């Protein structure tokens, strides 16, 4: 049975990328632990010292207005047409009234909420209400200052010295005043009065208070923002009110007082409407009384002056005559219109058109005969024109006859029109006479009925107003509240804020989020090479043969004998991986030549070349280390030597200097020699281009097993490109957190242009959080276990 091939799909690759993303953050696990710890501790202290807030709720039901009170008064005005179309206020309107600044300012005034009292207890400042030995009354605000800007932001400190004196500290100075005396402050005049009513409930050991002042409007705005007013149900008239405040008693007093002020405001409005309604009705009664008396007087006078009889039969006769006259008038008007139409038709002078007949129904026999004769001639003319033209003598003769008949017919119609006009004028005179007769008798009866109708209307309105005046008087005596309390203000037993679980949970999440954001933002803004994966993504075809750990300032930079540190093991791994680069190297080619370079200075190529040479020397092979950076040599920091001794630059410049003159023992290993860079020449590139450099490398390859070259950075100078052809392998060093990401583009371009060959990457200065297997799996190279203090120190000193 054949096996199907196994493919690595995109989902598997996504899982790998996700795992890499998670591991990137898990490497910084200690910062997440620290973040959670700090945030949780901060949340604990916040909960310890935060002032608990309780929720206080109250509910009321709005009474229907049409059952009395203001609704009754408004309906009275609506019934008599004064407030037409005005309905009762909706519940939504009442909610807006409850939240209005006008009503809240009354609550502030009544409870004195523009002055708040606090007591400092340790680091906490707690508000107190009602149970203090004195209270501050604001007599008058200073109108000459802008209260919005001049009100003090910081509270005044008021202390009770004795039963008669107090001290006030405004932050700059302390003054002493008598209790009950008027005190002038920059923003207002105040008076401090002893709290005699609540003397038995005064706080213990508290005679010093912080007093905060606000304007009436400012305190009302604060209440408007804090009080929540909502409808219990869209189909109900129940309104819920809620207030979250640290002091239960104060919150309860505020809500109860709000309901009280709302009811008082509604009662005032109700009484105002009732009073205005009563005054309006009284005025109307006076006017209607006078009008009713006048109507009754007119009725008596009219009956005595006019003798009224039964005029119904006479009215029927007059109406019949009027109808007959109107009918004749219509007929004559119709005939007049038809005659005018015929005259206009004939005036057109068209011999081809026929005249209409029997339109009016009143033509004389002569006129009808003329019209028939006219139409006969027109028909005869039209028949002749079918086979002839207008120039035919017969046609001309017929046209002449038609013109003569047209003139005759027009004269007849004009005469008929004159007769119709005379008949119409006669009918109009008859109509006028009939109208005059009708107006004399029915007009009196009509006037009499009008007088009676006006009398009945005035009497009904007068009686109605008397009834409404009594209702208004009764409503003024009954002042029922508009809102009925369903539940008085009541506070929760447990505080609603701060909520312990939410605060602690939020602190825990914040402790995770803050390090995450720092790492994420740092990663987004980072333009450096940090881990080997950054190189692998940019240069996937380039082998990475080693990672070198970050070293502290006090750690040794050169590997010692029997060194089992992380640095030593990293170079041993580098040495082993480097051997795979020499798989095709022949013994006849001489020493294995390794060129160590970097993109720019400071990336650690001298550190790598020095320790690589030492590590290769540990294999009992003959190794020579060459300082080929003729411009800025750094090998002296790692392998001590005489700076004045001759080196590579001296050898290339002076033909009298032999190779043996510049080879010196390293002083570290017996089989490790060193050739320093020598004196800094003015023309290093020209020296490296000479023929002597080839002889130099050929001689070294015959003497040693390994040749390690510490060369110059590639991005800055061209020196390394000149000697790269003599190297079997180029070890390219990049420093973690130092080399910029764009350096990989430079490396890629260099490889494409074949300026470098057989290149292997080494990532230097890798932090322990990102470094190889020793940190990840906790392998101890030293063979000794660190103590607890050492482990904690490593956690916080290595990243």
pLDDT of res. 40: 95
Residue 5 included in any domain: no
The contacts of residue 717 (CB under 8 Å, 6+ apart) are: 631, 684, 685
- Considering the domain architecture, whether residues 259 and 373 belong to the same structural domain is answered as no
Token pair belonging to 89: 């206020």
Assign 783 a pLDDT band (cuts: 50, 70, 90): very low
Question: What's residue 782's pLDDT?
Answer: 45
Q: Which residues, other chains included, contact 191 with Cβ-Cβ below 8 Å and sequence gap of 6+? A: 136, 137, 139, 180, 181, 182, 183
Q: Give the tens place of pLDDT for each residue, 238-248.
A: 999 999 999 99
Q: Which of 220, 241, 204 is closest to 128 using CA atoms? A: 204
Residues 134 and 242 grouped into a single domain: yes
Whether pLDDT at 78 is above 80:
no
198 lies in the same domain as 159: yes
Lowest-pLDDT choice from 263-267, 706-710, 719-723, 778-782? 778-782
Cα-Cα-Cα-Cα torsion 317, 319, 325, 331, nearest 10 degrees, comes to: -130
Residues 597 and 638 in one domain: yes
Percent of the chain with pLDDT over 90: 33
pTM of the full structure = 0.56
Which are the contacts of 496, defined by CB distance < 8 A and separation ≥ 6?
53, 54, 55, 244
Per-residue pLDDT band at 431 (split at 50, 70, 90)? confident
pLDDT in tens, 472-518: 666 666 666 778 888 899 999 999 989 899 999 999 999 999 999 99
pLDDT at 288 over 50: yes
Residues 583, 675, single domain; the answer is yes
CA-CA-CA-CA torsion for 473, 478, 479, 482, nearest 10 degrees? -100
Residues 220 and 354 placed together within one structural domain of the fold: no
Does residue 113 share a domain with residue 218? yes
Which of the 8 DSSP states describes residue 740?
B
pLDDT average, residue stretch 10-32: 71
CA atoms within a 13 Å half-sphere pointing along the CA-CB vector of 291:
16
Does residue 469 form part of some domain? no
- Number of domains forming the structure of the chain: 4
Which CATH number do you get for residue 563? 3.40.50.300
Q: What is the mean pLDDT of residues 159-188?
A: 90
**Nearest-angstrom CA–CA distance, 142 and 453:** 67
Short-list 407, 408, 385, CA closest to 396: 385
> Minimal CA–CA distance to 299: which of 168, 455, 424, 170?
455
Q: In the structure encoding, which two tokens stand for residue 152, read together?
A: 């003090």
pLDDT bucket at 120, cuts 50 / 70 / 90: confident
Instruction: State residue 675's pLDDT score.
Output: 92
Q: For residue 557, is it left (φ>0), alpha (ψ between -120 and 50) or beta? A: alpha
| 4: confidence class by pLDDT, cuts 50, 70, 90 | very low
Same domain, 619 and 676: yes
Residue 609 inside a domain? The answer is yes
Least confident of 30-34, 405-409, 621-625: 405-409
Q: Is the pLDDT of residue 424 over 60?
A: yes
In a domain, 299, yes or no: no
Residue 351 parent element (H or E): none
Q: Which of 12-16, 38-42, 108-112 has the lowest mean pLDDT?
A: 12-16
What does the block give as tokens for 338?
A: 């038809």
Q: Is 464 part of any domain? A: no
Report the pLDDT value the prediction gives residue 68, as an integer from 0 to 100.
Answer: 45
- Which tokens belong to 410? 């027009």
pLDDT at residue 344 in the model: 78
Residue 313 has pLDDT above 60, yes or no: no
Model confidence at 592, pLDDT cuts 50, 70, 90, reads very high
Among 240, 271, 302, where does a domain finish?
A: 271
pLDDT beyond 60 at 346: yes
Contact 750, 714 (CB under 8 A): yes
Same domain, residue pair 182 and 227: yes
- Cα–Cα distance measured from residue 591 to residue 450, given in angstroms and rounded to the nearest whole number: 141
Residue at 491 is within a domain: no
pLDDT score at 525:
85
The per-residue pLDDT for 735 is 94
Same domain, 773 and 644: yes
Query: pLDDT tens digit string along 364-409?
Result: 667 777 777 877 777 777 767 766 777 778 777 877 887 788 888 8
**Is 285 domain-assigned?**
no
The predicted structure's pLDDT at residue 226: 94
Strands 228-231 and 483-491: unpaired
- Among 212-221, 440-449, 611-620, the least confident range: 440-449
Name the token pair of 578. 């480097």
Last residue in a domain, options 271, 300, 326: 271
Region 645-670: mean pLDDT is 89
Could you tell me which residue, 520 or 330, shows the higher pLDDT? 520
The Cβ of residue 268 has, within 10 Å, a number of other Cβ atoms equal to 11
Write down the pLDDT at residue 249: 93
The pair of three-digit structure tokens given for residue 670, joined into one six-digit string? 């017996």
Greater model confidence, 82 or 349: 349
Average pLDDT over residues 66-91: 49
Phi/psi at 206 (nearest 5 deg)?
Answer: -140, 105
Structural contact between residues 108 and 213, judged by C-beta atoms closer than 8 angstroms: no
State the pLDDT at residue 325: 75
In the predicted structure, residue 777 carries a pLDDT above the cut 60: no
Q: What residues form DSSP beta bridges with 124?
A: 121
Could you tell me if 93 and 35 lie in one domain? Answer: no
Q: Are residues 511 and 540 in the same domain?
A: no
Please identify, among 482, 510, 525, the residue that sits at the C-terminal boundary of a domain: 525
Give 49's Cβ-side CA count (13 Å radius). Answer: 11
Q: Residue 503's domain spans which residues?
A: 23-50+498-525
Lowest mean pLDDT among 20-34, 110-124, 783-797: 783-797
Instruction: Say what the pLDDT of residue 560 is.
Output: 85
748-757 confidence digits (pLDDT tens): 999 999 888 8
Q: Identify which of 507, 691, 497, 513 has the alpha carbon closest to the alpha carbon of residue 31.
A: 513
The pLDDT-based confidence of 26 (bands split at 50, 70, 90) is: confident
How high is the mean pLDDT of the chain? Answer: 81
pLDDT of residue 152: 87
Q: In this predicted structure, what is the pLDDT of residue 70?
A: 45
- 245 assigned to some structural domain: yes
pLDDT band at 103 (very low <50, low <70, confident <90, very high): very high
Residues 731-741 pLDDT 10s: 999 999 899 98
């Amino acid at each position: 049975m054949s096996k199907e091939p196994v493919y690595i799909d995109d989902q598997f690759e996504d899982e790998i990328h996700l795992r890499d993303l998670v591991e990137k953050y898990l490497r910084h696990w200690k910062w997440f632990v620290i973040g959670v710890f700090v945030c949780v501790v901060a949340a604990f202290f916040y909960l310890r010292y935060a002032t608990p807030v309780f929720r206080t709720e109250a509910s009321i039901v709005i009474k229907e207005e049409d059952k009395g009170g203001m609704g009754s008064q408004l309906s009275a005005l609506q019934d008599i047409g004064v407030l037409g179309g005005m309905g009762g206020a909706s519940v939504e309107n009442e909610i807006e009234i409850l939240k209005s600044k006008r009503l809240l300012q009354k609550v502030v005034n009544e409870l004195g909420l523009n002055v708040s009292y606090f007591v400092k207890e340790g680091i906490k400042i707690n508000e107190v209400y009602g149970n203090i030995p004195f209270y501050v009354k604001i007599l008058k605000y200073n109108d000459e200052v802008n209260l919005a800007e001049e009100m003090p932001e910081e509270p005044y400190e008021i202390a009770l010295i004795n039963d008669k004196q107090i001290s006030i500290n405004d932050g700059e100075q302390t003054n002493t005043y008598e209790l009950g005396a008027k005190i002038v402050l920059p923003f207002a005049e105040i008076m401090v009065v002893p709290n005699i009513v609540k003397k038995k409930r005064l706080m213990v050991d508290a005679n010093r208070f912080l007093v905060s002042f606000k304007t009436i409007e400012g305190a009302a705005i604060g209440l408007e923002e804090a009080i929540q007013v909502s409808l219990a149900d869209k189909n109900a008239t129940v309104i819920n009110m809620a207030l979250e405040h640290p002091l239960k008693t104060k919150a309860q007093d505020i809500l109860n007082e709000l309901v009280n002020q709302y009811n008082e405001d509604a009662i005032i409005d109700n009484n105002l409407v009732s009073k205005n309604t009563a005054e309006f009705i009284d005025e109307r009664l006076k006017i209607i009384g006078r009008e009713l008396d006048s109507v009754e007087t007119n009725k008596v006078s009219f009956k005595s002056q006019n003798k009224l009889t039964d005029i119904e039969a006479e009215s029927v006769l007059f109406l019949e005559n009027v109808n007959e006259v109107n009918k004749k008038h219509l007929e004559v008007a119709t005939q007049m219109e038809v005659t005018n139409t015929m005259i206009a038709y004939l005036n057109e002078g068209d011999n081809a058109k026929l005249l209409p007949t029997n339109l009016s129904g009143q033509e004389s026999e002569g006129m009808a005969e003329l019209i028939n004769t006219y139409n006969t001639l027109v028909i005869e003319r039209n028949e002749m024109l079918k086979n002839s033209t207008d120039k035919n003598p017969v046609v001309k003769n017929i046209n002449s006859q038609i013109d003569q008949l047209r003139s005759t017919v027009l004269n007849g119609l004009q005469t008929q029109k004159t007769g119709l006009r005379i008949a119409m004028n006669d009918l109009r005179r008859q109509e006028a006479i009939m109208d005059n007769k009708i107006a004399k008798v029915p007009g009196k009866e009509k006037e009499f009925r009008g007088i009676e109708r006006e009398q009945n209307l005035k009497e009904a309105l007068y009686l109605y107003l008397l009834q409404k005046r009594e209702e208004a008087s009764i409503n003024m005596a009954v002042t029922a509240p508009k809102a009925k309390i369903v539940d008085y203000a009541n506070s929760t037993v447990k505080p609603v804020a701060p909520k312990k679980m939410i605060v602690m949970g939020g602190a825990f999440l914040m402790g995770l989020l803050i390090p995450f954001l720092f790492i994420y933002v740092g990663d987004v803004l980072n333009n450096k090479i940090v881990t080997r994966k950054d190189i692998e993504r940019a240069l996937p075809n380039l082998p990475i043969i080693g990672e070198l750990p970050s070293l502290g300032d006090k750690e040794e930079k050169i590997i010692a004998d029997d060194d089992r540190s992380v640095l030593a093991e990293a170079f041993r791994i580098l040495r082993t991986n480097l051997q795979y680069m020499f798989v095709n190297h022949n013994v006849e080619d001489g020493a294995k030549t390794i060129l160590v370079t970097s993109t720019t200075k400071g990336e650690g190529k001298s550190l790598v070349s020095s320790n690589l040479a030492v590590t290769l020397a540990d294999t009992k092979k003959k190794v020579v280390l060459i300082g080929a950076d003729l411009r800025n040599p750094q090998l002296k920091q790692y392998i001590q030597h005489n700076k004045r001794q001759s080196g590579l630059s001296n050898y290339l410049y002076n033909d009298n200097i032999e190779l043996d003159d510049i080879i010196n023992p390293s002083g570290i290993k017996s089989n490790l020699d060193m050739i320093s860079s020598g004196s800094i020449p003015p023309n290093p590139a020209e020296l490296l281009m000479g023929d002597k450099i080839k002889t130099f490398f050929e001689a070294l390859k015959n003497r040693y097993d390994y040749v390690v070259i510490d060369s110059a950075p590639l991005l800055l100078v061209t020196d390394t490109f000149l000697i790269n052809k003599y190297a079997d392998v180029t070890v390219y060093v990049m420093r973690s957190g130092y080399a910029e990401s764009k350096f990989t583009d430079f490396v890629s371009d260099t490889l494409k242009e074949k300026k470098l060959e057989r290149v292997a990457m080494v990532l230097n200065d890798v932090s322990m959080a990102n470094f190889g297997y020793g940190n990840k799996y906790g392998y101890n190279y030293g063979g000794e276990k660190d103590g607890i203090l050492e482990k904690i120190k490593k956690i916080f000193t290595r990243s």
